[in-house]
Amino acid sequence: MRIGDAAAAAGTTPRALRFYEERGLLRPPSRTPSGQREYGPGEVARVRAIRQLLSVGLTVDDLVSRAHRFDLLDEDPPVRCSADPGHEAFAPVVSARLAALDAEIARLSDLRDKLARLAATGSADVPGEG
Partner whose footprint covers residue 13, from DNA, a second copy, none (CB < 5 to 8 Å by kind) = DNA
Q: Does 76 bind a second copy (CB under 8 A)?
A: no
Partner whose footprint covers residue 59, from a second copy, DNA, none (CB < 5 to 8 Å by kind) = DNA
The binder of a second copy chosen from 15, 30, 59, 118 (CB under 8 A): 118
Spell out the residues 6+ positions from residue 37 whose beta carbon is closer than 8 angstroms to its own: 2, 3, 17, 29, 30, 31
Q: Does 69 bind a second copy (CB under 8 A)?
A: no
Residues from 8 through 67 that contact a second copy (CB under 8 A): 11, 48, 51-52, 55-58
Chain centre distance of CA 97: 11
If the CB atoms of residues 65 and 77 are measured against DNA, the closer one turns out to be 65
Instruction: Find the helix packing angle between 67-75 and 41-55, rounded to 10°.
Output: 140
| Residues facing 38 on adjacent strands | 30
Q: How far is Cα 82 from Cα 79, in angstroms, rounded to an integer?
A: 7
Residues lying near DNA in the complex (CB under 7 A) are found at: 2-5, 12-16, 18-20, 32-37, 51, 54, 59-61
Q: Is 31 helix (H, G, I), strand (E, B) or coil?
A: strand
Across 8-48, the runs of DSSP E, i.e. the strands, are 30-31, 37-38
Binding site for a second copy (CB under 8 A): 11, 48, 51-52, 55-58, 82-87, 90-91, 94-95, 97-98, 101-102, 104-105, 108-109, 111-112, 114-116, 118-124, 126-129
